[in-house]
Amino acid sequence: MKALVGAVILFGAVAQPATAQDMVYSFAPTTDCLAEKGPEGEAHQCFGTAANACMENTQGGWSTVGMSRCLGLELEDWDRRLNRAYGLLMTKLKAEDEEMAALGSSAPKQAPALREMQRGMDHVPRHRLRLRTLEMGWGHGRRSGCHVLPHVYDCPPSLVTGS
């Protein structure tokens, strides 16, 4: 009986996925990376930085549940950052549109163009977004979705044939 209790305790201690309360997450690794790259840098190289740190620092962070939560937390931060940037740019463009209209300019309005571009992003097929996730490092495109099921992921030849 002691062996059974010991096995249950050991299994419980080892196999537990990370819970929401246990997540060790900060967006700081990503903002630090962006600061290193500078305004003209390769910001895409910072994608996943906070999620990877979360997975490293969270017990069970490399479990499927842990990875999903860490990636989800980083996605939420990127979404907030994007929405904040969109709002600031929209405010600036509306002011410029008003200024140009006051000057009698016939230049096309910029704010409606930005709004239309943003709305167009809502129609990007989800399978393309999943593919971008593969291309940006989830499995480094190696022996992942595109190698195993290329017809499901609608993969470009470079990812199907690459090694």
The answer to whether residue 155 is domain-embedded is yes
d(CA 132, CA 142): 13
115 occurs within a structural domain: no
Look up the domain containing 162 and give its range. Answer: 124-163
Is residue 142 assigned to a domain? yes
In a domain, residue 162? The reply is yes
Q: Please indicate, yes or no, if residue 130 is contained in any of the structural domains.
A: yes
CA–CA separation, 50 vs 81, rounded Å?
14
Q: How many domains does the chain have?
A: 1
Within a domain: 152 = yes
pLDDT tens per residue, range 86-95: 999 999 999 9
Let me know if residue 83 belongs to a domain.
Answer: no
Q: Average of pLDDT values for 88-114?
A: 93
Give the model confidence (pLDDT) of 11-69 as tens digits: 444 445 555 568 999 999 999 999 999 988 898 899 999 999 999 999 999 999 999 99
Report yes or no on 144 lying in a domain.
yes
**Alpha-carbon span 62 to 14, nearest angstrom:** 12
Closest by CA to 85, choosing from 124, 39, 120, is 39
